[in-house]
Amino acid sequence: MSSVAYLATGKRERTKVANRQAILDAAREVFGELGYEAATVRDIIRRTGLASGTFYNYYRSKEEVFEALADDGARRFRPILRQQFEAAEDFASYLRGAVNAYFEFVANEHESWQARRPAGERQPHMQVETPEMHRVFEEVRDSFAAVMERGDAPHVDADYLAAASIAIAREIGQQMLERRPIDTRGAAEFAVNLILGGVNALPRLTP
């Protein structure tokens, strides 16, 4: 490949990245101002300043844009989750650190539509799990399995426990965002105690 072709390819890739980011930034603003249900693709396109054809080169619907926003949030949260595992002394401290970090992350996403959506509108349920959301699940599951292997927690099904813990955190986090003031500590304490209390009643796996 010639240097001219290489530079042209690099410029096209940078343009694609910039366009995709412009669409996501616009979607955050539109979802925040209008709410997910009321927002339309046309609203998002108008906010980007891009041509409608350019938008459809990247996304086919507002549902796909929302999934991309969820994927971006999960990607940014995953390193935070890893830090909590590396700093944890045992299962309980990892769980507490991870849940606290999640609620703080959600509360601090004030630029996203979740933090500013119209009162009473709930986040739509995702029908398809995004790749980064699946990686978050794997991170939690593997961390649970690791602390169990160290003998820091009862040996239970890590897949089920990760799925249940994530679901609890998501639902409590949703309720937390509905309240004013947003109480991340109170929400985290409730979620952690619920999960820890439930673990003690779970069937143990045989080695």
Residue pLDDT, tens place only, 141-197: 999 999 988 888 889 999 999 999 999 999 999 899 888 899 999 999 999 999 999
Q: How confident is the model at residue 206 (pLDDT cuts 50, 70, 90)?
A: confident
Better-predicted residue by pLDDT, 196 or 128:
196
For 181: left if phi > 0, alpha if psi spans -120 to 50, otherwise beta; the answer is beta
Nearest to 143 by CA among 105, 90, 197: 90
**pTM of the prediction?**
0.79
Q: Is the pLDDT of residue 111 over 50?
A: no
b/e code 163-175 from CB counts within 10 Å (16+ = b):
ebbbebbeebbee
How far is Cα 89 from Cα 92, in angstroms, rounded to an integer?
Answer: 8
Alpha-carbon distance values, 201 to 67, 99, 142, 149, 195 (Å): 35, 20, 21, 19, 10
pLDDT of 153: 84
Residue ranges and CATH numbers for the domains of the chain are: 1-60 (1.10.10.60), 61-207 (1.10.357.10)
Cα Rg of the chain, angstroms: 20
For 130: left if phi > 0, alpha if psi spans -120 to 50, otherwise beta; the answer is beta
Q: Is the pLDDT of residue 2 over 60?
A: no
CB proximity list for 11: less than 8 A, separation 6 or greater? none
| Tokens coding 111 | 């630029």
Q: To 10 degrees, the CA torsion angle through 76, 70, 29, 22?
A: 70
Percent of all residues in the chain with a pLDDT value above 90, rounded to a whole number: 61
Average pLDDT estimate for 98-125: 69
